[in-house]
Chains A and B, each alone.
Chain A
Amino acid sequence: MNVLAYLPYAVSFWIFAMGCYGLVRCRNLIAAVLALAVAQSSTYVLLLSIGFHKQAGAPIFSPTNPVGSPAVDPIVQALTLTDIVVGATVSALILALSIQIHRRTSCIDPERLSPMSE
């Protein structure tokens, strides 16, 4: 079995695990946003890697790439586009939350912030 043929999937899973590791170890909410964004990029990589096809072009036709010529899967690309928007919005929301936390407590270390636990 050609190991390289499965490398893209492995890379995607690896990035996801590293993103989660960043969340587990982070001492700064902004680092957590970046770690979450890294974890999210793993989904883009996985989707696009699954839809890729050798010997095919982009799913955008033009006189040099006429209609009907082989193309990689356009659906995963559309899904990834949606996913990128989701990622950006969640980042913006958590950053706004971090700014508010900092305003209240002058601290953005998640270790020292916990909802009053009873």
Chain B
Amino acid sequence: MMVFDSLLALIIAALAWRCVTVRDLFQAIVTFIVLGLMLALSWTRLDAPDLALAEAGIGAGLLGVLLLSTWRVVRDAGPDQGEGPPPSPWVRTAAAVGSIALGTAFAVVLHTVEVDSDRAGGLALESLGEAGVEQPVTAVLLNFRSYDTLLELGVLLMALIGAVLLRSPLIHRPAAEDTGTESPLLPVLVTVFTPLVLLMGTFLVWAGAHSPGGAFQGGAVLAGAGVMLVLGGRLGGDAQVSLLLRALLILGVSVFTVIGLLLMPLEGAFMAYPEGLVYPLMVTIEFSLALSIGLTLLLLFTGTNGLRGAPA
């Protein structure tokens, strides 16, 4: 396995180097996506299947689509979209020296670090019995360190508001001249796959309690279904936003916060779940999170305020 790991590590490093140095932007983006997949692979090797799922779904998949779509805008704008003059050789040399030093330092540190094995994670594994779920990462995310997760949802919401403020939509409806030539297979793809993908997303959320998966991965898959609908022309961005959509967008963070706040006077601490209710509460939270995450990611993709079904 050492050989395989070494090869994978080498590929990762080479892809990273190529992504940064290759001249063509498109190639850089594609390399980045491949890099994401390779990382996902390496993370399964490192006992982190949850993260591999997340990286493949969000980091490479969703972000990849977004990058490619943005690349189209960049390409259409013409060649002069680069930022000023290229850095001087001095800057390049300094950056090279700096990055080599940084990399060496990190490599040395990672090889010599004396890892403390008496740590919070070990405690988390021991306390799984009180956490209400079997899957340790889910327990950490939704129980032991649920506050982080809650705040992180805020980050998603903020990024969305920022994108909306920019009014730079990226709605992928087939362009007018393309409508006549639309592939007959595309509707098939959308019709067959969307329910399956939705099912899989839901499964991932539900499975999060005992096996790899969870709200984030499930949400990402849900968003993927949405992206597919958008690309297939079944769903489009809209400048108007319905109250329902907004309510769904904030569902996760609101449910999370309200449960936490309501139980605070009873349990004496914010986000402390009463015994017996831990599992149902966590499932409720997880599903509302997944829904909000999926919709937020989808809207980040369309870059619009709202969504509209099957545009005329």
Chains A and B are bound partners? no
Chain A interface residues (CB < 8 Å from chain B) = none
